[in-house]
Structure 1
């Protein structure tokens, strides 16, 4: 069962991994906003990118995260790897290609991999019967094929790379809205 380690030994916690392409905009925004919304000691949030290089966040993303209430501190983009997926209880891509990349790296994680919007959509109307956070993940996986799929790419949030700051902010607001709903689901 996924969990994480602390300096003083193993801890049974719950870890969420957000995945985007460069780990420079969407997934760090999601990581920092969910961590701010659920700052429990047994809850860990990470992010990674399918094509990430180890570079810091740009000033636009930093300012947006700060404005939206996320904790801005040292951040260096991380490339997605198998170990991150194996440790995560829930893997959330910002687009379908990110979810698929995680599953290709770790096929056994299929039932824990969704897009952020897909997970929220699958849990809509599921009620409070999800129990634990891991139960919520299992419930969302069981609802695939039962809940009507989203058309086209509406389960994804577009990459703002190379766009003007107002586009970055608009994408960050889309991430924030989904993350706030996710926090409600995981915080039950």
Structure 2
């Protein structure tokens, strides 16, 4: 299964989500992009520091802009906010049923009944849940952008993303058991 994470600059949120999921679920093909990103080799120093605290690796990372080809090539596109999901759909409208915010996907997946289907059927089942319940306010479906807000905000964002990635592994039936990627700084 190919999972694409999307944020604005492909500097913090989508990078963290990509690297944490890749570490936790190596059987998945995971990537990220930004709606306003540029091609830049290497990772932001603060993001790299936080990622290492959570057991991830920054090796080989390069930021890149979101393109229609990236969206078309993904089985699941997960934005950090609704505007990122909407940008992906604008680029590749036929991918609408595969585009969610990460929190939206997890929220809708909780409503599934019966045995969990295997990917990529899980994506179709989650998409079918849209419209069955009222959507929460946009802020509830997003992760705060830590850009220029300091290390503590970035660290809090990473902790929230780590928990969401853990839940995503459970939904997708992928990855390591609970606790495989944790903030190891407290140990």
**TM-score normalised over the length of structure 2:** 0.88
1:3-152 matched pairs, under 5 angstroms:
14-40=1-27, 43-55=28-40, 56-127=42-113, 129-152=115-138
CA distance in 1, matches of 2:136, 2:56: 29
Q: Deviations over 1:157-185 (max 9, x none)?
A: 01111111011111111111111100111
CA distance in 2, matches of 1:19, 1:67: 22
Report runs of 4+ in structure 1 exceeding 3 Å deviation.
none
Residue 111 of structure 2 contacts residue 129 of structure 2 at CA under 8 Å; is this kept in 1? no
Structure 1: which 5+ residue stretches go unaligned?
A: 1-13
Q: Deviations over 1:123-149 (max 9, x none)?
A: 014256231111110111000011331
Number of equivalenced pairs = 173
Residue 38 of structure 1 contacts residue 187 of structure 1 at CA under 8 Å; is this kept in 2? no
Tell whether 2:172 aligns with 1:186: yes
**TM-score normalised over the length of structure 1:** 0.88
Residue 52 of structure 1 contacts residue 77 of structure 1 at CA under 8 Å; is this kept in 2? yes
Q: SS in structure 1 opposite 2:70? A: helix
**Which structure has more RCO (C-alpha within 8 Å, separation ≥ 6)?**
2
- With over 3 angstroms needed to count, the CA separation of the structure-2 counterparts of 1:74 and 1:128, relative to structure 1, is farther
* CA RMSD across the alignment: 1.2
Offset, 1:92: 0.2
CA distance in 2, matches of 1:121, 1:101: 21
CA distance in 2, matches of 1:109, 1:176: 26
Q: SS in structure 1 opposite 2:62? A: coil
